[in-house]
Chains A and B, each alone.
Chain A
Amino acid sequence: MWAPRPLRLLNRGLRLIGALAAGACLFVALVAGIVWYDLSRDTPQTFYDEPLRQFEYGSTGGEILAGLPVGIFKALPTLCPDYLHGDSWSALGFIYQPGMNRPVGTSLRHSLGFDRVSLNCAACHTGTYRATPDSPPVIVPGMPANRLDLARFTRFLTDCITDERFNPWQVEQAVRGTGTHHSWLRWQLLKYGVVPAMREAVLLVKHRFRFLDHEPDPGPGRFDTFNPEKALLNWPFERIPGRETIGLADFPSLWLQGPRAQMHMHLHWDGNNESVEERNRSAAFGTGAVPTTLDRESMAFIADWLRTDHNVPPRYPFPIDAAKAAAGKSLYGHYCAACHGMSGRDFSGGLNGRVGEVTPIGEIRTDPCRLDNYTHALSAEQGNLYAAYPDERFSHFRKTDGYANLPLDGIWLRGPYLHNGSVPTVRDLLNPSDERPKVFYRGNDVIDRKKLGFVSNVPSEGGVPFFRFETQCTGPDCRPPDTGTLCVPGPFAGNSNRGHEGPAYGTDLSPEQKDALVEYLKTF
Chain B
Amino acid sequence: MKPVIKRWLRRLAPWFAALIVIGALGAGLVWWKFFKPGQQHFADARGRFNYGSLDGELIAGLAYPVFMTLPRVFPDLVAKYSTQGFGPEKPGYGGYGAFGLAWEEGQRLPVGLSIRRLGYDRVTMNCALCHTASYRLSPDSQPHFAVGGPAHTLNLQGLLRFLIAASHDARFSAARLLPEISLNFPLDALDEADYAAVVIPATRAALHLAGRQVGWMDSKPAWGPGRDDAFNLSKYILTQSPWDDTVGNTKFPALWELGAGNDRLYHAAGEAKTLYAVVATSAIGVGSLPADGFAERNQWIEKFIAGLAPPPYPGKIDPALAAAGKSIFQARCAQCHAEGGARTGTVIPLAEIGTDPAHVRAWTRDDAGRMNTVVRLLGADHSEIQGARGGYVAKPLVGVWLLGPYLHNGSVPTLRDLLSPPDRRPAIFYTGYDVIDSDRVGFVSTGSDAEAHGFRFDTALRGNGNGGHPYGTELSDNEKRVLIEYLKTL
Contact = CB atoms under 8 A, between A and B. Distances in A.
Interface of A: 65, 230, 233-236, 239-241, 290-292, 375-381, 383-388, 393-399, 401, 486
A385 B72 CA distance: 12
A239 B72 contact: no
Contact of A377 (B79, B89, B91, B104): B91
B176 to A, nearest CB: 12
Contacts of B103: 377, 380-381, 383
B82 to A, nearest CB: 10
B140 A234 contact: no
CB-based closest 10 A-B pairs: A377-B94, A380-B103, A395-B106, A235-B93, A388-B185, A381-B95, A234-B72, A290-B183, A236-B75, A383-B107
Contacts of A241: 89, 91
Given A380-B110, A401-B142, 14 more contacts: A234-B73, A236-B78, A290-B184, A291-B184, A292-B183, A375-B94, A376-B105, A380-B95, A384-B109, A386-B184, A387-B64, A395-B106, A396-B106, A397-B105
Nearest to A485: B140
8 contacts: A234-B75, A236-B78, A376-B105, A381-B97, A384-B95, A387-B184, A395-B107, A399-B142
B92 interface: yes
Interface in B52-96: 64-65, 68, 71-73, 75-76, 78-79, 89, 91-95
Contacts of B65: 388
A393 B105 CA distance: 12
B33 interface: no
A240 B93 CA distance: 8
A399 B105 contact: yes
Nearest to B98: A377
Nearest to A398: B105
A380 B184 contact: no
B106 A239 contact: no
Nearest to B140: A486
Contacts of A383: 103, 105-109
A400 to B, nearest CB: 9
Nearest to B96: A381
A376 B183 contact: no
B72 A233 contact: yes
Contacts of A376: 105, 142-143
Contacts of A379: 105
Contacts of A291: 183-186
Contacts of B140: 486
A236 B93 contact: yes
The contact size tier of chain B is: 20 to 34
A60 to B, nearest CB: 15
Interface in B139-188: 140, 142-143, 182-186
B3 to A, nearest CB: 40
A206 B109 CA distance: 29
B68 A387 contact: yes
A380 B102 CA distance: 9
Contacts of B185: 291-292, 387-388
Nearest to B76: A236
Interface in B97-127: 97-98, 103-110
A180 to B, nearest CB: 29
Contact of B91 (A239, A385, A393, A486): A239
Interface of B: 64-65, 68, 71-73, 75-76, 78-79, 89, 91-95, 97-98, 103-110, 140, 142-143, 182-186
A304 to B, nearest CB: 24
B93 A377 contact: yes
Most buried by A among B65, B71, B184: B184
Contact of B106 (A230, A234, A397): A397
Q: Residue among B64, B71, B106, B186 with the most chain A CB within 10 A?
A: B106
Contacts of A399: 105, 142
A381 B113 CA distance: 14
Nearest to B65: A388
A393 B95 contact: no
B105 A384 contact: no
Contacts of B106: 383, 394-398
B92 A239 contact: yes
Contacts of B93: 230, 235-236, 239-240, 377
A234 B180 CA distance: 11
B97 A292 contact: no
A393 B184 contact: no
A379 B79 CA distance: 19
A345 B104 CA distance: 36
Contacts of B107: 380, 383, 395
B90 to A, nearest CB: 9
A359 B60 CA distance: 46
Contacts of A235: 75, 93-94
A385 B185 CA distance: 10
B38 to A, nearest CB: 12
Nearest to A377: B94
Nearest to A380: B103
A39 B89 CA distance: 48
A292 B105 contact: no
Contacts of B97: 377, 380-381
Nearest to A230: B93
Contact of A388 (B92, B142, B186): B186
B362 to A, nearest CB: 35
Nearest to A394: B106
Contacts of A395: 106-107
Contacts of A396: 106
Contact of A233 (B64, B95, B108, B109): B95
Contacts of B110: 380
A375 B109 CA distance: 16
Contacts of A292: 182-186
A394 B78 CA distance: 23
Nearest to A376: B142
B79 A380 contact: no
B104 A380 contact: yes
Contacts of B186: 291-292, 388
A393 B79 contact: no
Contacts of A234: 71-73, 75
Contacts of A394: 106
A362 to B, nearest CB: 10
A16 to B, nearest CB: 39
A113 to B, nearest CB: 19
Contacts of B109: 383-384
Contact of B105 (A290, A380, A385, A386): A380
Contacts of B72: 233-234
B73 A381 contact: no
A386 B185 CA distance: 8
A308 to B, nearest CB: 29
A65 B140 CA distance: 38
Nearest to A244: B91
B68 A236 contact: no
Contact of A239 (B71, B79, B95, B108): B79
A397 B108 CA distance: 12
A393 B94 CA distance: 18
Of A388, A398, A401, the most chain B CB neighbours within 10 A belong to: A388
Contacts of B108: 383-384, 387, 393
Contacts of A398: 105-106
Taking each of B72, B95, B110, which has the highest tally of chain A beta carbons within 10 Å of its own beta carbon? B95
Residue among A239, A240, A386 with max Cβ neighbours from chain B (10 Å): A239
Contacts of A387: 64, 68, 108, 184-185
